[in-house]
Amino acid sequence: MIPELGQVALILALLLAMVQTVAPLWGSFTGSRVLMGLAKPAVTGQLVFAIVAFGALTYAFVTHDFSVAFVAGHSNSELPVFYRVGAVWGGHEGSLLLWILVLAIWSVLVAAFSGHMPERFVARVLGVLGVVAVGFLSFTLFTSNPFDRLIPAPADGQDLNPILQDPALMIHPPLLYIGYVGFSVAFAFAIAALLEGRLDAAWARWTRPWTTAAWVFLTLGISLGSWWAYYELGWGGWWFWDPVENASFLPWLIGTALIHSLAVTEKRGLFRSWTLLLAITAFSLSLLGTFLVRSGILVSVHAFATDPSRGLYILVFMGIVTGAALALYAWRAPMLTSDAGFRPMSRESFVLANNILLVIATALILLGTLYPLFMDALNLGKVSVGPPYFDLAFMIPMFPLMLLMGMGMHVMWRQMSVSVLARKLRVPAVIAVIAGVTLPLVFYGSAGMLTIVGSIAAFWVMLTALIDLLPGRGPARLTSSHIGMCLAHFGLGMLILGVTFVSSYDAEADRAAVPGQPIEVAGYEFTMFGTRGVEGPNFSAIEAEVEVRLDGELVTMLYPQKRVYRVQRDPVTQTAIAAGWRRDLLVSMGEPLGEGAWSVRIQYKPLVRFIWLGTLVMAIGGLFALSDRRYRLARRRSTEPLADGRAPAPGGGS
């Protein structure tokens, strides 16, 4: 009964989403306040039914209802309850339901915090969000129903994919989806502005916190995914340039550009049509990601079930949503351009450079991701594009970005003299060069050119980000959005530090571990003593005991496992990790070699923690920016003149 209840709730949510689309958009053109007023109750009702549907599927998982095909495919009677809840989004159908729930939550939040915006604008924003909701609800209902029954019901389920049985599974997809879907809000704001034919400083101020919030979640989601891959897959890598990873990274890059360009639009009224295009692109790339993941059009480790009918549906949906948005953009954006110029030595130019470099990086990664598809479609053969391309293509725009970022943070709006800037940045530049050269040479012996450049860039970004936070150095009144900016940039510096050192100095060895005989990697001695059997709730494992010593001193004991999950039979390697500020040590088990010996892989990863710590600091920076009191004040004033004193010109350019 409960799954049918979920099914009905999903249908009702679809009907309400249709109301949410048609009524307010229609009303916004005819000026009917009644029709526009329908948007909020419709969106609230949609959230209620989305919760019911999600709850029903969770209930089916918790109670082991294997007559539901999706449950039978992704759970098992031995699966612990914690993972049964996470298994709701452990497959294609259920993760779409999560997407729908997240979209409904965002939409309701927009409806709830829009009191200060004009009624017609809010109606249009909610109407656009309704279009997205209709698309995903009908996609779920017509091609990927999570409530489909399997008659006769199997006695037991096939279990959740063992690599998904990890606490990170519980939070990685929700965070990622909150970020992905969050860009739909910026998208809706952009479309509403295009429909209005008007874009002012207030618009930018309304859009900024929503964009930043989505960006924070996406940052955390991607970072958690990287961390999860690192310790769960046990390959010791933290980023693989897999198409699906790229699918989440592309909207992140454009979202980052959007955050910066919105700042210019708010403060100076410039970059308007560009900002709109970025907002449309960020969400379109989220849709593209969904398409790439769900259609099986590219080969990926994340592949969901391949099904052309699903792929075709998303393709058509993406064609309609993005196509209509871009058509509207081509028609209306020329009216919104501003011909006010800016000087080369101004914050505006630096943000422009930031945007251009981020867009170049996005384009290069998109090209690499889709290249196999292009080649195949043109019958030029099957190719795959690997990390060597992506590493290089990404690095090229990143180095100038780092250099300019350190300066851009300290350049004023409008204009600034080069000598003032030079005086401010002289000290951090010198320290960055000294620290950047010393650290690799002193602590790690030798260093290549790339290592030194990366290390200098990391210190440069971190130091320049810190200046304004030092007492007496920064602006007289530090706003929380300024603190947020400094923190986010500092976090990026930490990330670069981690990436540079782990890619320059990591070491690994694949060896036969004979009990009692030490293996040396990067100065550490690893000794395996033996193995024993271990029983988990739904798996059996062989666990090795490995002692790690540095210069004769005991560092830690590691216990890697080789697990066999009872239902899905394939062996899974559970890597043991000794985490530390300065390095991680990883040991994973391969195959038994007889007489107690095992093949093992030992890895040494210097400063790898800085990668995830850095992204965490970036996200915290985003939270600071969100908490700025400017956004709360803005709620009281509905519109106001552009920051540079010109009155907003209805219907177009100034």
Partner 1 sequence: MWRFVLVPAAFIVLLGFFLVGLFRDPTLVPSPLINQPAPAFELPQLLEPERTLGLADLATGEPVLLNVWATWCVGCRQEHGLLVDLARRGEIPIYGLNWKDDNEAAIHWLQRLGDPYVSTAVDADGRVAIDWGVYGAPETFLLDGQGIIRYKHIGPLTEDIWQREFRPRIAALQQGRS
Give the residue among 170, 57, 188, 56 at the shortest CA–CA distance from 110: 188
Alpha helix locations (H) across 468-529? 480-505
Contact status, residue 230 vs residue 237, Cβ threshold 8 Å:
yes
Q: Which is nearer to partner 1, 194 or 496 (CB)?
A: 194
Q: Which is nearer to partner 1, 102 or 250 (CB)?
A: 250
Q: Which is nearer to partner 1, 107 or 281 (CB)?
A: 281
Give the residue among 522, 521, 540 at the shortest CA–CA distance from 531: 540
Q: Which is nearer to partner 1, 158 or 415 (CB)?
A: 158
CB of 154 to partner 1, least distance (A): 8
User: Looking at this protein, which amino acid is placed at residue 598?
Assistant: W
Local structure of 467: helix, strand or coil = helix
- Compute the residue count for the chain: 654
Give the residue among 611, 361, 580 at the shortest CA–CA distance from 493: 611
Residue with tokens 């999570």: 146
Alpha helix locations (H) across 144-271? 167-196, 201-228, 243-268
CB of 280 to partner 1, least distance (A): 9
Q: Which is nearer to partner 1, 12 or 321 (CB)?
A: 321
Q: Which is nearer to partner 1, 230 or 274 (CB)?
A: 274
Q: Which is nearer to partner 1, 123 or 352 (CB)?
A: 352
Residue 287 CB contacts under 8 Å (≥ 6 apart), including other chains? 314, 317, 318, 321, 322
Q: Which is nearer to partner 1, 12 or 333 (CB)?
A: 333
CB of 279 to partner 1, least distance (A): 13
Q: Which is nearer to partner 1, 365 or 439 (CB)?
A: 365
Alpha-carbon radius of gyration of the chain: 26
CB of 569 to partner 1, least distance (A): 6
CB of 231 to partner 1, least distance (A): 26
Give the residue among 80, 58, 83, 79 at the shortest CA–CA distance from 68: 58
Phi, psi (rounded to 5 degrees) for 382: -95, 125
Contact status, residue 436 vs residue 455, Cβ threshold 8 Å:
yes
Q: Which is nearer to partner 1, 356 or 373 (CB)?
A: 373
CB of 81 to partner 1, least distance (A): 23
Q: Which is nearer to partner 1, 292 or 589 (CB)?
A: 292
Phi, psi (rounded to 5 degrees) for 240: -115, 0
CB of 251 to partner 1, least distance (A): 15
Alpha helix locations (H) across 296-417? 308-336, 347-377, 387-408
CB of 371 to partner 1, least distance (A): 11
CB of 415 to partner 1, least distance (A): 27
CA-to-CA distance for 254 and 418, rounded, in angstroms?
29
CB of 651 to partner 1, least distance (A): 17
Q: Which is nearer to partner 1, 330 or 647 (CB)?
A: 330
Residue 294 CB contacts under 8 Å (≥ 6 apart), including other chains? 92, 304, 307, 310, 311, 314
**DSSP code at position 595:** T
- Name the site residues for partner 1 (rule: CB under 8 A): 72-73, 158, 273, 277, 284, 291, 295-299, 306, 308, 311-312, 315, 318-319, 322-323, 326-327, 329-330, 333-334, 370, 372-374, 376-377, 382, 567-569
Cis peptide before 152 (omega within 30 of 0): yes
Local structure of 17: helix, strand or coil = helix
CB of 217 to partner 1, least distance (A): 26
**DSSP code at position 234:** -
CB of 536 to partner 1, least distance (A): 19
Q: Both ends of the chain: CA-CA distance in Å?
A: 60
Instruction: State the CB neighbour count (10 A cutoff) for residue 449.
Output: 7
